[in-house]
Structure 1
Amino acid sequence: MSNINLYKSMNFSEDVNKAICNLAKEHKEILCIYKIGLSLENTPILAINLGLGKKKILINATHHARELINTILLLDQIQYIVNLYETNASVKDISIRELLNEITFVFVPLVNPDGADLVLNGISYVSNQYINMFSLKREFFESWKSNIRGVDLNRNYPTRYPSSDTVEYPGSKGYTGPWYFSEPETCALKDLTESCLFEGSISYHSSGEEIYWEFNQLEEEKYRDYQIAKIISEETGYVLIEEPRPNRGNGYKDWFIENYKKPALTMEVSPYVGERKVPIKYYQRIFQQNKNVPIIFAREVLTIK
């Protein structure tokens, strides 16, 4: 059963966290949840472990506020994989029980809960401590990417080759922040990553049906990561993006590759829709293209050297 009705919720972050807790209660043998941090508005940022293995893979979504359709996608991916596990099913000749005995998926469905609530609720959501920044029309919030104080979370990670198109002031997108890891949301991901030492990661974003997989790897690592990205491209139909070197960026994927030398993908899931949240009409297509992505990615990360 899909969680797509949450896409219309006026209490999105609260309802998402309730859905996460309900999933864990119903499937205690294979799922556990825990808080990795608090947003600026003190909303818990939750992680869900799915699996029993020692090796871990991160799947995260909604660094960008308007890309909250990916939170729904991750919740549905979890339910889908749990169903496969409980029925002892296989996908692409991969036994799900065998896979989940070897690895654990760590899902973080809602990195930016305040931003997602802002996109859905507008100015009525903003608390007094941030209200002075928002003398804006309701329509503007549907294009919002940043967190509640105007920091673009996917520009808040330090790298050797930072983005060249950042902006200097808080706003809807592009502001790196006063310093790297200035925001509690990115600190939560940093602490989680440092404690788990993931074998690989997928960051879900929303618009363009593209896969970004490079960040200045050595040639051997680049070949490995290309092989993985190509297989995910074949599964989804998304285009692989190759960028001129040096690759530039301050996203989670960029920081992860640079620091951990492991495979990482940024997945843009919908047809290009411009500066707005993805229309709900695309969701079933997105889910079908991505339901097996964590499973296939995990197999390839474990087998391709």
Structure 2
Amino acid sequence: MQVRTRSGDTLWYYSQLFQIPFHLLIDSNPEFNPNQLAVGQTVQIPGFTTQTYTVKDGDTFWRLATRRNLTVDALLLLNQNQNPTQLVIGQSVILPQRVITPVMNRQTLYDISTLTNDLNVLRQVYPFIRIETVGQSVLGKPIQEIRIGRGAKKVHLNASFHANEWITSAILMACLNTFLLSLTNGNSIRELSPLPLYEAAELSIVPMVDPDGVDLVLKGPPSNMREEIIRINKGSANFTGWKANIRGVDLNNQFPAKWELEKERTKEKAPAPRDYPGESPLSEPETIAMARLAQERQFDRLLAIHTQGEEFYWGYEGMEPSESSLLAQEFERISGYKSVRYIDSYAGYKDWFIQEFRRPGFTIELGLGTNPLPLSQFDEIYEEFLGIFLASIYI
């Protein structure tokens, strides 16, 4: 929600007026001096939208404000050209509307178009988040990163490294939406206050690493690539089992952590729907972007979200720090997922991160069944993963 400043207004006053944490106001308006707002400036108020209301018999600003648990001045701020003592039946006024429910449709086929729409809505309602394009897919679709928080601890989460695991993007975005709602409404999540987490950490979220592959699974191939992609898919036009990027390279087999071993032992020696590690490590624009992001941001811990198995992996060649064990114990406790230190798999993003930085890295396998997991599992998986999401920040 946008408001136009008046003489004497400050961000601190707005935080009291709308019951929004002061630092969220500051981070929503980084270009302004919070104590010296000029008259007529446009200020973003997070956690609110506006609605146009038609005045009825008996309405006053005081009554309208009381119904919304706001002060009269909150309404006067949005209606500076109105005479507050002379409301006329049929007149239109602008009312602030606190956002108290998720702005996303949680259970939907989650392609890049859906993600883009959700990001646009989140950016409007929660302007303290920062959204950046950190790379592009083979087909030029944006790989986007959401950043939130002002703390020193840097936590990264990503989803949809594998195309037919697209439900992970929807789950991760739903957890983010819950966190944002709690911040602006002052509610706890699992008995945790979100504001100290916001102050202690900076979250980096890449909700869809492989947008081309996700769109292929959900919508089919682009017409100009149809024949080539069907050939890679062993002659089938059914893409539900496709894990790779649009070129048939498995993005989670692409990182220089014993990549040569993975390349040698895989049965896939050419582009395929899954498991082909490419002709060289980091050959794909998606993996180049994710490696560069980790190197630039220097994350303290990393969680790569996959499906399925209700377990998570957290070791690599003995290079994982002791902190990883403590995190693994907590993840297991709060989710019920099985903690697995080592598996016979290499060249993954988690493997490379542990090898490169000697910091905690996790591959989280959500849910049970056959990929792609059905949306009927959404609520159960969300409840299981939300605890891990929060623990990755507060521990």
TM-score normalised per structure 1: 0.88
**CA 1:118 to 1:218, structure 2 compared with 1: closer, same or farther past 3 Å?**
closer
Counterparts in 2 of 1:153-164, with a 5 A limit? Answer: 153-160=251-258, 162-163=261-262, 164=265
The CA RMSD measured in Å over matched residues stands at 1.9
Greater CA drift, 187-196 or 63-72 = 187-196
Superposed CA offset, 1:108-161 (max 9, x none): 000000000110122xx335257424233233x101000000000000111147
Q: CA deviation digits over 1:148-206, x for unaligned, max 9?
A: 00000000111147434362110111111111111111111111111100010110001
Match in the other structure for 1:87: 185
Secondary structure (helix, strand or coil) at the match of 1:281 reads helix
Report whether the alignment pairs 1:262 with 2:368.
no
Q: 1:242 to 1:191 in 2, by over 3 A?
A: closer
Please state if 1:235 is matched with 2:334: yes
Q: Contact 2:148/2:198 (CA < 8 Å) preserved in 1? A: yes
Alignment of 1:1-305 (within 5 A): 1=102, 2-7=104-109, 12-29=111-128, 31-91=129-189, 94-122=192-220, 125-128=221-224, 131-135=227-231, 136-139=235-238, 141-160=239-258, 162-163=261-262, 164-165=265-266, 167-218=268-319, 221=321, 223-243=322-342, 248-271=345-368, 273-274=369-370, 276-300=371-395
Q: What SS does the corresponding residue of 2:116 show, helix, strand or coil?
A: helix
Partners of 2:226 and 2:246 in 1: CA distance: 7
Structure 2 SS opposite 1:81:
helix
TM-score (norm 2): 0.69
How many angstroms apart in 1 are the aligned matches of 2:258 and 2:358? 14
Q: 1:224 to 1:148 in 2, by over 3 A?
A: same
CA distance in 2, matches of 1:268, 1:291: 13
Following superposition, the deviation at residue 85 of structure 1 comes to: 1.2
SS class of match (2:269)? coil
Residues 89 and 256 from structure 1, CA distance in 2 versus in 1: closer, same or farther, beyond 3 angstroms? same
Deviation at 1:93, TM superposition (A): 5.4
Alignment partner of 2:143: what SS? strand
Deviation at 1:17, TM superposition (A): 1.4
Amino acid at match of 1:101: E
The one-letter code of the counterpart of 1:295 is L
Which letter does structure 1 place at the counterpart of 2:143? I
Give SS of 1:265's match.
strand
Number of residue pairs the alignment of both structures matches: 287
- Percent same amino acid among aligned pairs? 28
Q: Report the residue type matching 2:120 in the other structure.
A: C
Asked whether the 8 Å contact 2:150–2:201 carries over to 1, the reply is yes
Give the conservation status (yes or no) of the 8 Å contact 1:51–1:101.
yes
Cα distance between partner residues in 2 of 1:133 and 1:126:
9
Specify whether residues 97 and 185 from structure 1 end up closer, same or farther in structure 2 by C-alpha distance, changes over 3 A only. same
* Cα distance change, pair 133–87 in 1 and its aligned pair in 2 (3 A): closer
Deviation at 1:3, TM superposition (A): 3.0
In terms of Rg, which structure is larger? 2
CA separation in 2, counterparts of 1:170 and 1:45? 22
Question: What is the rounded CA distance, in whole Å, between the counterparts of 1:76 and 1:152 in structure 2?
Answer: 26
Contact 1:217 1:257 in 2 (8 A): no
1:303 corresponds in structure 2 to none
Cα distance in 1, alignment partners of residues 312 and 379 from structure 2: 19
SS class of match (2:270):
coil
> Does structure 2 retain, via aligned residues, the 8 Å contact 1:80–1:291?
no
- Deviation per CA, 1:254-284: give whole Å up to 9, x if none: 000010111111111011x23x300111110
Aligned residue for 1:174, secondary structure, equals coil
Instruction: Sort the Cα spacing of 1:291 and 1:3 in 2 relative to 1 into closer, same or farther, 3 A.
Output: farther
Letter of the aligned partner of 1:21 in structure 2?
A: N
Structure with more contact order per residue of length (Cα contacts < 8 Å, sep ≥ 6): 1
Query: How many Å separate the matches in 2 of 1:270 and 1:5?
Result: 15
Q: Deviations over 1:225-268 (max 9, x none)?
A: 12211110111111112336xx6411110000010111111111
- CA distance in 2 between counterparts of 1:288 and 1:43 reads 30
In 1: Cα distance, 2:249 partner to 2:226 partner? 12
Cα distance in 2 between the residues matched to 1:37 and 1:21: 18
Q: Distance in 2 between matches of 1:22 and 1:54?
A: 27
